[in-house]
Structure 1
Amino acid sequence: MRKVIMWDMVSVDGLFEAPGHDIGWFVFEDELADYIRETQLGADTLLFGRVTYEMMATYWPSAEGEIATFMNSVEKFVFSRTLQNADWNNTTLVSGDAAAEVEKLKRREGGTIFVYGSADFAGTLTAKGLVDEYRLGINPVLLGKGTPLFQNIPDHTKLSLTQVRPLKSGVVILHYQPVRN
């Protein structure tokens, strides 16, 4: 079965965006780009909620470089009940049961599936036990206000730390796997 990995950049206080969907505080530098190349460019499917999809679809089609080539060519699914179309290359719009669709994708042949951003959607997947690994880039900043990454999740989800990777920028990347009972 394919693995679903949730990747997000967050502040020390657990926020993944500042008010107004501001992500300009992310520390993105060469060492982080290397980590992304090493760990994510082998994925063959990306999953997004509507808000993250719209931000990504605005940025990546005109971007250049290895990561842009990956983002524009990989298979993508956007989960939304309000979006009318999804025009970004290789994107399928899903308006039905998100958990059921992700379960189907996990059973389908293929490689790793990544979820980027998409706090509400990721919360749904977490609540249904569909996330196999959480990878968090903890940024050296306190935002105070914004959108928490983990919302609408079960009361208690125990995680096991599997990897820690500090970067010179102060970002610390943590990998966790849910402890299944």
Structure 2
Amino acid sequence: MGKIIASIYLSLDGVMEEPAWTAPFWNDELSDFQGEVFKVSDALLLGRVTYEGMAAAWPNMEEEGAARMNSIPKYVPTTTLGEPQWNASFIKNNMIEEVAKLKQETDKQYLIYGSGHLTRSLMEHNLIDEYHLIVCPVVLGKGKRLFTEQNPKNLKLVDVKKTSTGVAILTYQASE
């Protein structure tokens, strides 16, 4: 059975929307952590908005990891996008059923970057196995949040890392 990992940047007050505010906290420690998780992932699961942003930027990048980012398979639930590009497959039908099927039929590790709506939907259906919550030392006050009243979760803390910029990388596994 496959495994789904959600890697999400959060403010201290749980905001995940438009993470441009994370830039001051980015450093080699965070880059190394993200690189290691990405290296062992077999495919990406991306929401439409995240996919569009990444597909516009990554094909033109030459930095380390760009070739892998451009070649890794990507699965994107969407009913509005036309032809898939950037090594993507579009999930046009029931997103929950299709993602559950991907997970059930393979031993692959699927990585979600951001993608709030996708992450919350998969969370509601208990399809996420592990959460990498990258908590930045900033309070934003408003914005979309990962955890809402509609999706309470009991999670098991399995690892904690701290960067020199004050970021806490919290790894949780879904509780049964």
Question: Residues of 1 paired with 2:121 and 2:111: CA distance?
Answer: 15
| AA in 2 matched with 1:44 | D
Deviation at 1:48, TM superposition (A): 0.9
**Number of equivalences:** 174
Q: Under a length normalisation based on structure 2, what TM-score does the superposition of the two structures give?
A: 0.92
Q: Under a length normalisation based on structure 1, what TM-score does the superposition of the two structures give?
A: 0.90
Counterpart selection for 2:105 from 108, 111, 116: 108
- Larger CA deviation: 41-50 vs 61-70: 61-70
Structural RMSD (CA): 1.5
Cα 1:2/1:163, change in 2 over 3 Å: same
Deviation at 1:140, TM superposition (A): 1.1
Provide Cα deviations, 1:110-139, integer angstroms capped at 9, x if missing partner.
431111111111111011110001111001
Within 5 Å, give how 1:162-177 maps onto structure 2.
162-177=158-173
| AA in 2 matched with 1:23 | P
| AA in 2 matched with 1:11 | S
Counterpart selection for 2:154 from 143, 155, 158: 158
- Larger CA deviation: 164-173 vs 63-72: 63-72
| AA in 1 matched with 2:135 | I
Question: Residues of 1 paired with 2:12 and 2:62: CA distance?
Answer: 30
Matched, 1:126 2:129: no
Within 5 Å, give how 1:58-97 maps onto structure 2.
58-88=56-86, 90-97=87-94
List gaps (5 residues or longer) in structure 1.
none
Deviation at 1:87, TM superposition (A): 1.5
Kept in 1, the 8 Å contact 2:45–2:113? The answer is yes
| AA in 1 matched with 2:66 | A
| AA in 2 matched with 1:83 | L
List gaps (5 residues or longer) in structure 2.
none
- Runs of 4 or more above 4 Å deviation: none
Counterpart selection for 2:55 from 50, 54, 57: 57
